[in-house]
A = this chain, B = another copy of it.
Amino acid sequence: MIRTADKHSKILEAAIRVFSRKGFFHARISDIAKEAQVADGTIYLYFNNKYDILISLFEEEIGKIIMEVKLLLESKADDNPREMLRIFATHHLQMMDDRRELAEVLQMELRQSNKFMREYRNTKFSEYLDIISGIVRKGQELGVFRPDVLPGVFKRAFFGALDETARLWILSPDHSYSIHETAEQISAIFINGIIQPAAR
């Protein structure tokens, strides 16, 4: 052992790579151990079981993403809800493209997680979605977004649109459209869809 080098995150990073390659169910603990250059048993010193690795991974990574995008929104969008949607879209797609392996894991496993881990409520993910509904509410207060759009519906529609688009890239990584072009398209559709006609 040369260095202790934070095994916890070393294992999580290895897990992202392995889960993205094989999917959660086909990934063996021994695969993750090998990838993290650690013994099989060591993993159990840091995590309770295989699911716990996946959940920790969600919490930590989505947590980071939330931080990033909140910072970006505060620093660049000075209270302009249209701009905020555009920034959110661009950041989401950019992140999915930069971190392909993480994106695959989130794409594939996030949906399942509620299924087989009944007790796990995925609060970080809800928090991520709530950034969108927050933007909508702000836009409605400022009178630039139509008041009849339900923020709770909009947040899912907007996230779903981005997520499904990102899925295309993951499945066939040679995108025909650029990130900015796509983020632009999607936010344009939604902004035109939600904007107050008077404000146009």
Flag if B165 contacts A162 (CB, 8 Å): no
**Interface secondary structure of A, over-half rule:** helix
Question: Would A116 and B23 count as touching, CB distance under 8 A?
Answer: yes
**Contact pick for A153, options B159, B185, B190, CB 8 Å:** B185
Within 8 Å CB of A112, what residues of B? 23, 108, 112
> A163 to B165, Cβ gap below 8 A?
no
Give chain B nearest CB distance to A169 CB in angstroms: 10
Stretch with Cβ within 8 A of B (4 or more), from A40-48, A54-62, A191-199: A191-199
B115 and A111 form a contact (CB under 8 A): no
Contact B165 A157 (CB under 8 A): yes
- A161 interface contact, C-beta 8 A: yes
Among residues of B, the one whose C-beta sits closest to the C-beta of A129 is: B164
Q: Report if A156-B152 is in contact (Cβ < 8 Å); known contacts: A26-B116, A108-B115, A193-B193.
A: no
Contact of A182 with B153 at beta-carbon distance under 8 Å, contacts A23-B115, A112-B23, A189-B194 already known: yes
